Homo-oligomer: A and B are copies of this chain.
Amino acid sequence: MDASGVQPTSRPGGRTARTRAAVRDATLAELAVHGYAGLTVEAVAARSGVHKTTVYRRWGGVDGLVVDALALADEDGWAPPDTGSFERDLRELAREVVVTFAGTPASAAFVAAAFQSERAAAALRDFYAERHRRSAAVVTRAVERGEVPAGTDAGAVVKAAVAPFYYRVLIAGEPATEDLADQSAAAVAHAARAGLYA
């Protein structure tokens, strides 16, 4: 499969874009139900209403479906919270992770895919790198407001705030809760204000 098969030319609102979105939605739905190990081109084709041979030609296989679903997520215009308060921004960011784990088993499936496919792993790394890049605005604005010292490592702050959810859900098998989001945000904000992520 070549790169053009992974990221088909998209005409916003056009038939190509609609097909891609339908295939992406079907991929997420199948991942949520069956996990990466149970993901098949046939099921994605059936669920999306896109012909199987089209899916094979444009996405190549399950690897390509996962890679493209993550690439589309990158194009979703997501922006981090902007509440006017550093700690509230971190809390909202953490609560988004809670919602993600509560609502879409697909999140865990993406991680599972990364363990089984180097292409999926690279796509997952790219996805998170972009999310971290955008989330840095939370820290930049906090520096501008004088809430945290200049030179604070935005990536370290954002990763510290969300890491406990991934650890608890994926490693320890514990739930992601709003209480944990609030605790994590308060703790990381407190340490960041003290310059400990500088």
Chain A residues with CB under 8 Å of chain B are 35-37, 108, 111-112, 114-116, 121-122, 124-125, 128-129, 132, 156, 159-160, 162-164, 166-168, 170-173, 180, 183-184, 186-188, 190-192, 194, 196-197
15 A–B contacts, CB within 8 A, in A order: A37-B116, A108-B115, A111-B171, A115-B116, A124-B171, A125-B172, A156-B180, A159-B168, A160-B164, A163-B163, A163-B164, A163-B167, A166-B171, A167-B167, A190-B194
* 4 closest cross-chain pairs (CB), A and B: A187-B191, A163-B167, A112-B115, A163-B163
Add 11 more A-B contacts to A160-B184, A162-B167 (CB < 8 A). Answer: A111-B170, A160-B163, A163-B164, A163-B168, A166-B171, A183-B196, A187-B188, A187-B196, A188-B191, A190-B190, A190-B196
Majority secondary structure of chain A interface residues (helix, strand, loop or mixed):
helix
